Structure 1
Amino acid sequence: MTKTAIITGISSGMGHAAALYFKENGFEVYGGARRMNMMQDLAEAGIHVQELDLTDKISIRQLVDRTVKEAGQVDVLINNAGYGEFGPIEEVPTEKARRQFEVNLFGANEITQLVLPVMRRQGFGRIVNISSIGGDLYMPLGGWYHATKAGLDMWSDVLDMEVKQFGIRSVVVQPGGTDTEWGSIAMETAKKNLEENSPYTKLVDKISGSLDSASNSRMAGASAEDLAKLFYRAATDIKPKRRYFNSVGDHAAVIFSRTMPNAYRALVSRFI
């Protein structure tokens, strides 16, 4: 029997690559994103695409209902959609911080709550939550982003303990450095969130410069295709792990931040 996966945030990056990879490996794939024009190639590849806004309950329900009606089951849910609202905590408007949680955490919860009854009836299912090593590591200006990813990690762990009895598992993928424009986009967002004559302007410029230097001096991080394969492993491992990392370096960084928090803070402080 063909397996079915729902993947959110498939218009670009690792979500886009994951949709194609799951399809290539025999899954019937349903997914969505806000930008329909970015998913034309996915539709041509046989992926069932539709507009999806994780802050809109109706939009979320339409995707789940369509999947169940047409495929009859949901084997895998990949909660991939998310973004980073960077800027000084003092100056990022609360409504923007709230939207960050709505998309990165509450949206994942909303679609998961709709999928779980289906998985319970089936007696199996896998929920893969795409977090970040930024759920454990942190840097100035990323307060709201880090808070959502840390929250997603804990939420997934609790969910896993609750649903394991039904043959369902909830796991976390924590990507680290990626071969994308994510860092530059985050810094552009931080600059947009600065108030006029902000006392944090120098901090934003310094961190932006540090990220540019690091990007130019190191080898490229994981590609979208690398992470798509990691998503697939997290979704199909017979004995799933709580956490999935793309590299030993990513895993080591998380262990370092957890076990040596003062040393980690001192290291980050050297760059600000």
Structure 2
Amino acid sequence: MSSVLITGASKGIGRAIAIELAGRGHRVIATARRPETLADLPVDQRLRLDVTDQESVDAAIREAGEIDVVVSNAGESVRAPLESVPLDEVARLFELNTLGALRVVQGVLPAMRERGSGRLVFVSSIQGRMVLPMIGPYGATKWALEALAETLAIETGHFGIQVSLVQPGAVSSGGGERAKVHLKDNDPYSALYQELPVLRGEVVTPEAVAATVADTIEQPEPPLRIPAGAPAKQVLEARKVAPEDKPFLAVPLNW
């Protein structure tokens, strides 16, 4: 069984991944900015790790001991039109969703490279390969994450390190409900915001995504990209065959 460090394990997908992997007998190191939120998880270690803080990352990696797998899950979203989204919110999302993932990877890669083995599993999104209006900043962080992960697959595969991107669509994790919404009174984009439930499509559970992550970790030769659930697979297949000369939407938009 593998020793797996999970970022953002306090709720939603990260919590479900911790429970799923522990149930399969893996040594799970669950991490979160507030480790007290991990108290009820059936895992081997519960550590404080803030992916935006280099000292926090370094301390958690030291305390974790040998790490076979990193599941990079920590992330947040926001709801706003690009015309008016606060740029400090966009910067915050990149720091958390994208640079935070790279910060943790930089911490574990030297030991993995020396051993000649290791796995990096990134919880991405269908929005790493397509866009949804009003969630553009989140999508941009996931497109960037996918670029980093694919680069890592090329650079570190030489050293025996495997890289995978798990791509869910809409998940009933509460992340969408927790996302900050930046809309003014009588905002010209309010009608578009109302279209979001239809655009996000069919919802899957955090447990379904967790099972996909666990299956990926246990595969001898996992693919680079793995859709999590039938809805994600259908949307990403449609995106592959869609013409490149116009924006892609999985469903018609009343806008």
Taking structure 1 as the reference length, the TM-score comes to 0.85
The answer to which structure has the higher helix fraction is 1
Partner of 1:48: 45
3-state SS, counterpart of residue 158 of structure 2: helix
| Cα distance in structure 2, aligned partners of 1:89 and 1:102 | 18
2:195 counterpart of 1:207: yes
3-state SS, counterpart of residue 5 of structure 1: strand
| Cα distance in structure 2, aligned partners of 1:266 and 1:19 | 33
Q: Which amino acid is 1:207 matched to?
A: E
The equivalences for 1:47-196 within 5 A come to 47-68=44-65, 73-186=66-179, 189-190=180-181, 193-196=182-185
| Cα distance in structure 1, aligned partners of 2:221 and 2:192 | 44
Structure 1 residues 145-185: Cα deviation after superposition (integer angstroms, max 9, x where no partner): 00011111111111001101111011100011323334444
3-state SS, counterpart of residue 178 of structure 1: coil
Shift of 1:249: 3.4
Shift of 1:31: 2.4
For these two proteins, the number of residue pairs brought into alignment is 254
Q: Which amino acid is 2:223 matched to?
A: K
| Cα distance in structure 2, aligned partners of 1:92 and 1:125 | 38
1:177–1:222 CA contact under 8 A, matched in 2: yes
3-state SS, counterpart of residue 265 of structure 1: coil
Q: Which amino acid is 2:20 matched to?
A: Y
2:254 counterpart of 1:271: yes
Given candidates 224, 243, 260, the residue that maps to 2:225 is: 243
Q: Unaligned regions of 5+ residues in structure 1, if any?
A: none
| Cα distance in structure 2, aligned partners of 1:31 and 1:58 | 18
| Cα distance in structure 1, aligned partners of 2:252 and 2:20 | 39
Partner of 1:28: 27
Q: Which amino acid is 1:198 matched to?
A: D
In structure 2, do the counterparts of structure 1 residues 255 and 184 end up closer, same or farther at CA, with 3 Å as the change threshold? same
2:195–2:253 CA contact under 8 A, matched in 1: no
Stretch of structure 1 that moved more, 33-42 or 108-117: 33-42
In structure 2, do the counterparts of structure 1 residues 3 and 183 end up closer, same or farther at CA, with 3 Å as the change threshold? closer
Q: Which runs of 4+ in 1 moved over 4 A?
A: 261-264, 266-269
Taking structure 2 as the reference length, the TM-score comes to 0.90
Shift of 1:214: 7.7
1:64–1:114 CA contact under 8 A, matched in 2: yes
3-state SS, counterpart of residue 214 of structure 2: helix
2:3 counterpart of 1:4: yes
Structure whose alpha-carbon radius of gyration is higher:
1
1:136–1:258 CA contact under 8 A, matched in 2: no
Q: Which amino acid is 1:105 matched to?
A: T
In structure 2, do the counterparts of structure 1 residues 126 and 40 end up closer, same or farther at CA, with 3 Å as the change threshold? same
